[in-house]
């Protein structure tokens, strides 16, 4: 009964979505407020029905109702409750339902909290968003129905893919989807602006919070995915330039560009047409990401068993929305009033540079990701584009961007003073040089490490410079500094934190890639292996039974310079239901660095293949992402995003005249 209820609720959601996608739009075009008023209640109802549908699926999983095909395929009665719950989206059908659930959540949020948006714009936005929702409801109902029953209910399920039996599954997909799908709101706003043929600074102000929310979630989602891969796959890597990773990274790059260009539009009414295009591209890349991951054109842990019909269907959705949006853009964008041009040396100019670099890097990642697919479709030659390609294209471009990052926030709007800014960055630059010298003296050779560390320091110190200057730290008396700090717009804090986070992540990347060490050895009981200052002694093995697996554990005593600092116990788990083995690495955190031990295969004579890594500063990679997201959160709480129309800032909140946004 419950699965049928879920199925029926989903059909109802589709019906409501169809109403929502037409009636309010017609109302907005004809100026009929009653019809426009349909948008908000339908968006809320749509959310309610998808939520019922999702709750029904959750119930099936939690109660282990194996008469439902997807539950049978992806769950097991002996799994812990958390995994029973997360396995809802640990498969294609369920994850698509999560996708539309989040889509409807965003629709409902706009309906509930978008009271400051003018009625016609709001109605159009919700309508456009509902087109996307309707397309995906049809996709789920036609090709990926999670509620299909089996003729005879089996007694036991086939278990969730053991790799996915991890806490990461509880965080990574929902966060990532919040990001992907959140950009649908920016997309809907862009399409609505094109339909209305009107766009102004207020538009940017309404779009920005939604873009920010999506961006924060995507940042955290990607970081979580990377961290999860790091500790669970047993290879010690955190980014492989795998097409699936790129699929999530491209919307992030485009979304980051969108955040910055929307700022120019809000403050200076420039870059309007470009911002619209970016909003369309960002969501298009999210859709392409969904297509790449869900259609089965790629082989990876993410590509759950899939059939070609699904791929074709998503491709059709893709062509329809991206093609339609771009066609509409080509038709309507020339009619939008162009914004003014501006001096190249200015905050706007810096943000344009940022956009240029971000979109270009996004383009190089796009080429590297899709070139193999295109080539195979055209010539049937099968190739793969490896990490060196991305190191050589993404790397140099992003490094230049990183060097430019500290300059942006220090430049004034309208007309900046590059020389003045350079002088103000002298301290940051000095710190970076000191960092480089320290590395060169201490480590001797690695040029890359020194340069990377220098750039990271420059980014962090540069972002801090902005805060220090604006609060007058070290110049003004302390109480005034505090008052200024409190009075500083939250968005200024947000910018600084986001940029500091970027620097922290780079620091982690430099540490991990340049100073990391590894040992891959075959060990027997009593053997000892040294890595840097650490000694690892194989103490013994033990085995135990988990809820749905058997586990072999190997104990290592870890000494640093002869002193015992702890024990590390990596394990290997065997899941009988799927006849699969997974590796659970042992991690020891020391500050922000980690020791990492994972097991390879165990031979008959008791020798165990072991991977041991020393990963200096590795935690900074994800910590930086968290700091970036925190900065995004601060920016989101800025009061100007909560008010409807641009208002002059209070006198108290006014920083120095040079940094005053031009109204």
Partner 1 sequence: MTRKQRRLGLIVACMGILGIAVGLVLFALRGSIVFFNSPTDLVEKHVAPGTRVRLGGLVVPGSIVKGQNLTVHFQVTDGNKAVDVNYQGILPDLFKEGQGVVTEGVVDPGGTFRADTVLAKHDERYMPREVAEALKKEGHWKDDYANKTGAATRTP
Residues making contact with partner 1 (CB under 8 A): 69, 72-73, 150-152, 154, 158, 161, 163, 234, 296, 299-301, 305, 307, 341-344, 352-353, 356-357, 360-361, 363-364, 367-368, 371, 381-393, 396-397, 520-522, 572, 578-583, 600-601, 603, 609, 611
Least distance between partner 1 and beta carbon 267 (Å): 18
Least distance between partner 1 and beta carbon 576 (Å): 12
Nearest to partner 1 of 82, 383 (CB atom): 383
How far apart CA 393 and CA 400 sit, in angstroms, is 12
Nearest to partner 1 of 286, 583 (CB atom): 583
> Quick one: which of 154, 361, 347 has its CA closest to 255?
361
Q: Are 362 and 254 in contact (CB under 8 A)?
A: yes
What dihedral do alpha carbons 496, 499, 503, 504 form, nearest 10°? 70
Nearest to partner 1 of 218, 270 (CB atom): 270
Helix 119-143 / helix 92-113 crossing angle, nearest 10 deg: 170
> Quick one: which of 629, 627, 257 has its CA closest to 408?
257
Residue 560: what are its φ and ψ, rounded to 5°?
-115, 120
Least distance between partner 1 and beta carbon 207 (Å): 24
* C-beta neighbour count of 217 within 10 angstroms: 23
Least distance between partner 1 and beta carbon 503 (Å): 22
Task: Identify the helix (H) or strand (E) that includes residue 212.
Answer: helix 201-232
Nearest to partner 1 of 73, 266 (CB atom): 73
Residue 115: what are its φ and ψ, rounded to 5°?
-70, -20
- Among the residues of 87-200, which ranges form H helices? 92-113, 119-143, 168-196
> Quick one: which of 425, 419, 449 has its CA closest to 437?
449
> Quick one: which of 89, 17, 7 has its CA closest to 47?
17
Nearest to partner 1 of 205, 572 (CB atom): 572
Nearest to partner 1 of 232, 491 (CB atom): 232
Nearest to partner 1 of 102, 229 (CB atom): 229
Least distance between partner 1 and beta carbon 580 (Å): 5
What dihedral do alpha carbons 252, 256, 258, 261 form, nearest 10°? -160
Nearest to partner 1 of 354, 593 (CB atom): 354
Q: What is the largest CA-CA distance in the chain?
A: 82
Task: Identify the helix (H) or strand (E) that includes residue 415.
Answer: none
DSSP state of 164: G
Nearest to partner 1 of 242, 469 (CB atom): 242
Q: Residue 480 is encoded by which pair of tokens?
A: 């005034």
How far apart CA 417 and CA 316 sit, in angstroms, is 50
Q: Residue 375 is encoded by which pair of tokens?
A: 């080539």
Least distance between partner 1 and beta carbon 628 (Å): 24
Least distance between partner 1 and beta carbon 154 (Å): 4
> Quick one: which of 254, 58, 274, 233 has its CA closest to 146?
58
Least distance between partner 1 and beta carbon 549 (Å): 13
Nearest to partner 1 of 151, 657 (CB atom): 151
Residue recorded with tokens 């005053």: 660
Least distance between partner 1 and beta carbon 121 (Å): 30
Radius of gyration in angstroms for the set of CA atoms belonging to the chain, rounded to a whole number: 27
- Among the residues of 564-617, which ranges form H helices? none
Nearest to partner 1 of 184, 295 (CB atom): 295
How far apart CA 663 and CA 661 sit, in angstroms, is 6
Least distance between partner 1 and beta carbon 299 (Å): 5
Least distance between partner 1 and beta carbon 567 (Å): 22
Least distance between partner 1 and beta carbon 200 (Å): 22
Burial class from Cβ neighbours inside 10 Å (0-12, 13-18, 19+) for residue 444 reads exposed
Nearest to partner 1 of 26, 389 (CB atom): 389
Least distance between partner 1 and beta carbon 251 (Å): 19
Per-residue burial over 650-659, b if 16 or more Cβ lie within 10 Å, else e, is: eeeeebeeeb
Nearest to partner 1 of 505, 583 (CB atom): 583
């Amino acid at each position: 009964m419950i699965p049928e209820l879920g199925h029926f609720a989903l059909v109802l959601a589709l019906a409501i979505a169809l109403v929502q996608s037409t009636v309010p739009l017609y109302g907005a075009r004809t100026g009929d407020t009653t019809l426009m008023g349909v948008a908000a209640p339908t968006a809320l109802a749509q959310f309610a029905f998808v939520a019922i549908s999702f709750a029904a699926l959750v119930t099936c999983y939690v109660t282990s109702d194996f008469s439902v095909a997807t539950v049978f395929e992806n769950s097991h009665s002996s799994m812990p409750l958390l995994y029973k719950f997360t396995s809802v989206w640990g498969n294609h059908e369920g994850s698509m339902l999560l996708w539309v659930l989040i889509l409807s959540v965003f629709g409902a949020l706009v309906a509930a909290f978008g009271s400051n948006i003018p009625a016609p714009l709001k109605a159009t936005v919700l309508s456009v968003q509902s087109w996307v929702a309707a397309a995906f409801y049809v996709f789920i109902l036609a090709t990926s129905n999670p509620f299909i029953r089996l003729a005879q209910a089996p007694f036991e399920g086939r278990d969730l893919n053991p790799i996915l039996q991890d806490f990461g599954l509880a965080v990574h997909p929902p966060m990532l989807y919040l990001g992907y799908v959140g950009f649908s709101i920016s997309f809907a706003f862009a399409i609505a602006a094109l339909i209305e043929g009107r766009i102004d600074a207020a538009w940017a102000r309404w779009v920005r919070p939604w873009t920010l929310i999506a961006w924060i979630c995507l940042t955290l989602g990607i970081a979580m995915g990377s961290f999860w891969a790091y500790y669970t796959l047993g290879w010690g890597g955190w980014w492989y330039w795998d097409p699936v990773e790129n699929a999530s990274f491209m919307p992030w790059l485009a979304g980051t560009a969108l955040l910055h260009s929307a700022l120019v539009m809000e403050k200076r009414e420039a870059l309007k047409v470009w911002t619209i295009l970016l909003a369309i591209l960002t969501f298009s890349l999210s859709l392409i990401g969904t297509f790449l991951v869900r259609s089965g054109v790629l082989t990876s842990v993410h590509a759950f068993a899939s059939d070609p019909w699904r791929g074709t269907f998503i491709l059709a959705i893709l062509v329809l929305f991206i093609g339609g949006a771009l066609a509409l853009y080509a038709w309507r964008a020339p009619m939008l009033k162009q914004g003014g041009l501006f001096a190249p040396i200015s905050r706007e100019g810096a943000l344009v540079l940022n956009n240029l670099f971000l979109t270009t890097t996004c383009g190089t990642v796009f080429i590297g990701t899709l070139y193999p697919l295109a080539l195979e479709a055209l010539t049937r030659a099968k190739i793969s584009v490896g990490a060196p390609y991305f190191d050589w294209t993404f790397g140099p471009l992003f490094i230049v961007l990183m060097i430019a990052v500290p300059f942006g926030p220090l430049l004034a709007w309208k007309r900046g003073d590059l020389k003045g800014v350079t002088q103000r960055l002298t301290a940051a630059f000095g710190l970076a040089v000191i960092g480089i010298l320290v590395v060169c003296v201490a480590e001797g050779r690695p040029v890359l490490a020194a340069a990377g560390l220098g750039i990271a320091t420059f980014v962090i110190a540069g972002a801090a410079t902005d805060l220090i200057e604006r609060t007058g730290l070290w110049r003004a008396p302390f109480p005034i500094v505090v008052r200024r700090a409190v009075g500083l717009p939250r968005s200024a804090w947000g910018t600084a934190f986001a940029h500091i986070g970027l620097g922290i992540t780079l620091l982690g990347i430099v540490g991990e890639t340049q100073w990391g060490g590894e040992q891959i050895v075959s060990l027997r009981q009593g053997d000892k292996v040294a890595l840097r200052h650490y000694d690892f002694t194989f103490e013994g093995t033990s085995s135990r039974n988990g809820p749905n697996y058997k586990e072999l554990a190997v104990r290592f005593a870890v000494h640093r310079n002869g002193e015992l600092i702890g024990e590390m116990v990596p394990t290997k788990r065997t899941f009988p239901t799927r006849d699969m083995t997974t590796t659970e690495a042992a991690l020891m955190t020391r500050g922000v660095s980690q020791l990492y031990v994972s097991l390879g295969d165990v031979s008959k004579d008791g020798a165990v293949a072991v991977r041991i890594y020393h990963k200096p500063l590795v935690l900074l990679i994800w910590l930086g992402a968290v700091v970036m997201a925190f900065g995004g959160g601060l920016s989101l709480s800025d009061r100007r995003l909560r008010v409807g129309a641009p208002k002059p800032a209070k006198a108290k909140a006014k920083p120095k005249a040079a940094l005053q946004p031009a109204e």
